[in-house]
Structure formats: C-alpha cells, structure tokens
Amino acid sequence: MVNAHGLAAADGLPEVFIPAESALKQKILVTRATFDEVITRLRAQFDVDDNQREDLVYSPGELRRRAAGMDGVLVSNADRIDAALLDACPKLRAVCNVAVGFNNLDIAALSQRGVLASNTPGVLDDTTADMTWALLLGAARRLTESERWMRAGKWQGWKNDQFLGQDVHHATLGIIGMGRIGQAVARRARGFDMRVLYCNRNRLPPEMERETGAAYASLDALLQQSDFVSLNLPYSAASHHLIGGRELALMKPTAILINAARGGIIDEEALVSALREGRITGAGLDVFEGEPAVNPALYQLDNVALTPHIGSASRATRLKMNHLAVDNLEAILAGRVPPNLLNPEALGKRRSA
C-alpha cells in the first residue's frame, strides 16, 4: 500500500493519509485580524494561524508561544519582536510588519539570526498626509472641542466670539521630517497659500524643494517661526523626545503642534504643561507615547484634538498595506529578496527552509 506521499506503509500498521500539499505548506502566524481576502490569499499557499475572531493583542509570552514553529509572521506595530522571541522560534525566517514604522522590531537581533524583516512604506503616504491635515484643521478650528460642547447641549445660538480659532491660510507650516509623508503634507499646504519650512536629517535636492514649495530651516528656527508644526519623522533613539520642554518653549504662544508619526517623539509631560499653561495654543495627536494607554491629563485638556492612531485608516490603504506585507512574506519564504527589506545585512545569514 502506498500513501499520499508515495511511501509504502509498514506491514501491520494502519495507513494514515495526509494530503501532500498541506504537509508541505509553510506555517504562518497573523497576529491581528485583517481583511478576509488577505487571509484567503495566505491560506492558498500557507498553513495559517490567524486572529480573525478575537483580534487579541498577544502578550509577549503568548506571542512567543504562537510564533514557535512558524516560518513567517505578519505583525502589527504593537507586537514586539526581540531576541527572546527569536530564540524561541528557531524556524522563523520572515517577520513582516504591517506598518511603515518598525520600532517594534529589534533589527540587530533579527539580522544576527538571519531573519529577514520588512515593512510597508509608500502605500500609506497620502492617506497619512490627509490625516495630518485633518488634525491640523481640527485643532486650528477647535473642531473636536466645539463638537463635544455642542453634543453636551450647551449651544444657545451664534455668538461673535464663540470658539475663535486660528487661520490656516497664509500661515507658516513647519514640517519636521521630510520623507515621503512630509513631502505629501507640504504639497497640500499649497492650497492654503502657506509658507512651508522643513527640517530634515538631510537637505532635499533643490528640485525637490521647488516641487514641494518648502524651504530648509534648522530645528530651532522652524520652531520659532512656525504657526503649525507637523511631526512626520520615524521614531528612533535619536528622535525620542525630540520635542521636549526646550523645544516647546521656542514655539509661538499661538502655535499648534501636530503628531501623526509616533508618540515617543514628544515628551508628553512637557506637552501637557505647555498646553495647560497656554505656552502653545493647541495640539492634534494621533499617536501616544504609551499607547494604547494615553496620558490621562490629555483627556482633561480642551485644546488638544485626540484620535486613536488612525493615520493610515482608510479601507483602501489598510488593504494595500496588508497585501504589501504578504508580498514581502511570499518573497522571503520563496528565497527571494522582498520588496521592502529592512535588514539587508541578514541576507548572508538567512535561515534555510
């Protein structure tokens, strides 16, 4: 008797039929609920452990347990991939972030162990730039504050001085971090006839400055001159608390700070003090230093607009992000270089199938 793998069954032992294709499928963990079509695409090629029903945020121990024995994982920015997890998952070859930021990944530990990591840049630039502008306009015109007041039944009619905000048109916008998203934010400023300053680790080529309509400035000069300051840079050790008490003190008392990048870029305690004391006029925050926990003092302030990390949250964009993460995963597990490799130094050490 020959079984499904073309191997003869031993005499006297029951034959177990296992479909050959399922036995050969590589194992994948998807840590958060995603679109059904993404899971369908994955299941056509891989043996998939998903989180579709409960969409739990796994604890570090649970994540290690579920990732053990996996060939690849699709992770969110809430999933910490570190040396302890990698040591518990010797088969792991692919860690694919469904996000642009990757401060949740220990790149050095991944590279040392030959595990390839990837992210999903590009596909969310315009959507995140749109959200940056939503926060900017909402904070400038006190949108969330006035809506809360109105829903509480406090509106008794029009008044000349009711919820006076800041003009956006013809104001100065300072952009800290002039990558793809920062450039998209700058281009949108043209419709408001704004003066745009930018600060970046590297100055843009002259033709790109002309295309975006942005002028280079030092960080201090940008903070001193801008009516609106938008943070659009990656989070790293170098950018941790880039905006603290000193930087906030440089800003105009009428200025508004916008963050749709990463929470740790701002020292939230310093920001709370500046907002509470009126040393800056307002803020719009989509990200938080300890998220999903939020500094409770922020909830007590009327001059800050708060949203729950939804910068890239349009259906079309989130779907593109997930499919791009799958593109990266497929490439790595097929032995190819993925489109968005974060650690090329791991290529020479990559784990074999």
- Out of 209, 269, 291, 345, pick the active-site residue: 291
Strand partners, 105: 81
CB 120 within 8 A of CB 321: yes
Radius of gyration (Cα) for the chain, nearest Å? 24
Pick from 84, 171, 82: nearest CA to 95: 82
294 by Cβ neighbours in 10 Å (0-12 / 13-18 / 19+) ranks as middle
- Out of 309, 318, 323, 350, pick the active-site residue: 309
CB contact burial 66-76 (16+ within 10 A = b; e otherwise): bbeebbbbbbb
- Out of 262, 318, 323, 350, pick the active-site residue: 262
Whether 65 is catalytic is no
- In single-letter form, the type of residue at position 30 comes to V
281 by Cβ neighbours in 10 Å (0-12 / 13-18 / 19+) ranks as buried
Whether 54 is catalytic is no
Active-site positions read 262, 291, 309
